[in-house]
């Protein structure tokens, strides 16, 4: 597969060829300027991501704790109901003992 300038001109046209050459020539000039602007933006995005991550960890831990509390309360209520049924059964049917 060989590169043919005619194929590029046919596919993208002369304006596309001019834009491509301009991008190659101007990349070193604008690349450093974009890097200077892009670095603080990237750092800010990373910081925001870290803050959101930490807050979500705290929220998930609190939700997990609330779930564990509800689970323990539910188990305690079921155990209480079960023991109440046994006591009621013993009171109504003394011959079973």
Contacts of 17 (CB under 8 A, 6+ apart): 8, 9
Kindly state whether residue 23 falls inside one of the protein's structural domains.
yes
**21-50, pLDDT tens digit by residue?**
777 777 777 777 777 877 888 889 999 989
Kindly state whether residue 75 falls inside one of the protein's structural domains.
yes
Domain that holds residue 56: 11-91
DSSP states of 18-35: HHHHHHHHHHHHHHHHHH
Answer whether residue 2 shows pLDDT above 60.
no
Kindly state whether residue 3 falls inside one of the protein's structural domains.
no
With bands split at pLDDT 50, 70 and 90, how would you rate the model's confidence at 71? very high
Answer whether residue 12 shows pLDDT above 80.
no
Kindly state whether residue 77 falls inside one of the protein's structural domains.
yes
With bands split at pLDDT 50, 70 and 90, how would you rate the model's confidence at 4? low
State how many domains the chain has: 1
**Both tokens of residue 39?**
């670095």
- What pTM value is reported for the model? 0.46
Burial of 2 (0-12, 13-18, 19+ CB in 10 A): exposed
């Amino acid at each position: 597969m060989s590169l043919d300038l005619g194929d590029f001109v046919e596919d993208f046209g002369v304006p596309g060829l001019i834009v491509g050459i301009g991008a190659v020539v101007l990349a070193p000039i604008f690349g450093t300027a974009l890097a200077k602007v892009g670095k603080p933006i990237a750092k800010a995005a990373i910081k925001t991501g870290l803050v959101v991550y930490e807050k979500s960890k705290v929220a998930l831990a609190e939700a997990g704790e609330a779930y564990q509390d509800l689970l323990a309360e539910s188990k305690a209520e079921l155990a209480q109901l079960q023991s109440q049924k046994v006591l009621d059964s013993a009171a109504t049917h003394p011959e079973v003992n």
